Amino acid sequence: MLQIRNLTKIYDGGVKALDNVSFDVPDNQFLAVIGLSGSGKSTLLRCINRLIEPTDGQILWNGEDITKASPEEMRRIRRKIGMVFQHFNLVHRSKVITNVLAGRLGYINPAWSLLNRFPKTDMEKAIKQLERVGIADKADHRADELSGGQQQRVGIARALMQDPEMILADEPVASLDPVLAHSIMKHLEDINDKDGVTVLCSLHFLDLVHRYADRVVALNAGKLVFEGLPNEIDDKKFKDIYGRDAERVG
């Protein structure tokens, strides 16, 4: 159970990216986060694993307050939270397999990982994850030799290596064409169904929300403006979320 309580983030420049946001995410839910660009979706997801320090509020995960965790506790918490990014964020010059193994960094002894040594079980596990997302044959390629869709699968494999209990996906399909978008979303759906992983996924297109999400939260200028089921978004709600001038397409 993830509980967001009065979360506020004010950036150094004074921008209020999150304004007193509160909602709960039960375990094993597929939650979509929607909103215009600049509404605070990325900020929200990054506050949860504290890549961004929240200004105020609490984030309780299984009862533990993430915002109060010490650096060491944070390491332990982060390794249970996988993250998938819009621009994949792979290390381009490293091999695919190294990118995937990086998902274990929160577990292995730092002294060993500095020498680029991973336990044998991790090597096997990495191959297995690559097989799961269907690109085991690319293991020894450099990451930047892969296409966008393939890179995002590596990103998912990296998150899976963490044995995550939760995955934060920040617009995972916004840089991909619609066909690829569905294949990536299906992987996330599969992880959500089979592995029981909670997924928080920010999305641009409402059709993807309807197709994949169990529940939706919507942000507008940092404020929570909607929380409910995907099919509850009627025309009025739509205008609340996307602004008065927005037109509903598709």
Partner 1 sequence: MTEKNKKASPWKSIQFGLAILAGLFIYAYGFEITKVDLEDLRSERRQESLTRVMRALARPEIFEYDQKEEIINSPIYVTCPAGGTPTVPVPDKSSAYLVITPTCAEPGETVQVEGFNFAPNTSGPLRFIPGSDPANVVEIGRDNVETDAAGHFIYDFTLPKRSSKDVQYIRATLRQNVGVPHLTKTAYDTWEKIVETVFLALLATTFGTFLAIPLSFIAARNLMKPVRSPLASISLSILGWPVGIMVGYSIVRWVESFSTPFAGNIPINLLVIVVVPVLVSFGIRWALPQEEISKPDRTTQITRYFVLLLIVLVSFYGLFHLAGLSMNLGLIGKTNLGAFGFLGNFLFQIGDIVRIITPVLGGLAAGGVLSSLMTRLGQRATEKLSSGSIKLFNLVFSTLAGATVFGLIGQLVKSLYQIGNPIYTLWGPIFTGALLGLLLAIFTKAKDTLPTGMVIYYVTRTFLNGLRSIEALVMAIVFVIAVGIGPFAGVMALGLHTIVSLAKLYSEQVESIMAGPLEAIQATGANRLQTIVYAVIPQVIPPYISYTMYRWDINVRMSTIIGFVGGGGIGFLLQQNINLLNYRAASAQMFAIAIVVASMDYISSVLREKYV
- Binding stretches for ligand ADP (CB under 6 A): 11, 13, 15, 17, 35, 37-43
Closer of 21 and 81 to ligand ADP (Cβ) = 21
Q: How far apart are alpha carbons 93 and 52 in whole angstroms?
A: 26
CB-based contacts of 6, cutoff 8 Å, min separation 6: 20, 21, 22, 56, 57, 58
DSSP one-letter code for 94: S
Q: What tokens appear for 96 in the block?
A: 């695919």
Asked if 42 interacts with Mg ion (CB under 5 A), we say: yes
Closer of 80 and 204 to ligand ADP (Cβ) = 204
Closer of 39 and 49 to partner 1 (Cβ) = 49
Choosing among Mg ion, partner 1, ligand ADP, none, which partner's interface includes residue 76 (Cβ < 5 to 8 Å by kind)? partner 1
Choosing among Mg ion, partner 1, ligand ADP, none, which partner's interface includes residue 55 (Cβ < 5 to 8 Å by kind)? none
Choosing among partner 1, Mg ion, ligand ADP, none, which partner's interface includes residue 250 (Cβ < 5 to 8 Å by kind)? none
Q: DSSP of 124-145, one letter per residue?
A: HHHHHHHHHTT-GGGTTSBGGG
Q: Where are the alpha helices (DSSP H) in 170-247?
A: 178-194, 206-212, 235-242
Choosing among Mg ion, partner 1, ligand ADP, none, which partner's interface includes residue 249 (Cβ < 5 to 8 Å by kind)? none
| Burial of 84 per CB tally in 10 Å (0-12, 13-18, 19+) | buried
Minimum distance between the CB of residue 38 and ligand ADP, rounded to whole angstroms? 4
Give the pairing of strands 166-170 and 2-10: unpaired
Chain residues binding partner 1 by CB under 8 A are: 46, 49, 51, 70-72, 74-79, 81-83, 85, 87-94, 98, 102-114, 116-119, 121-122, 155, 158, 161-162, 168
Minimum distance between the CB of residue 208 and ligand ADP, rounded to whole angstroms? 16
Asked if 150 interacts with Mg ion (CB under 5 A), we say: no
Minimum distance between the CB of residue 38 and Mg ion, rounded to whole angstroms? 8
Cβ atoms of 82 and 192 closer than 8 Å: no
Closer of 84 and 209 to partner 1 (Cβ) = 84
Cβ atoms of 124 and 63 closer than 8 Å: no
- Residues of the shown chain interacting with Mg ion in the complex, contacts defined by CB under 5 A: 42
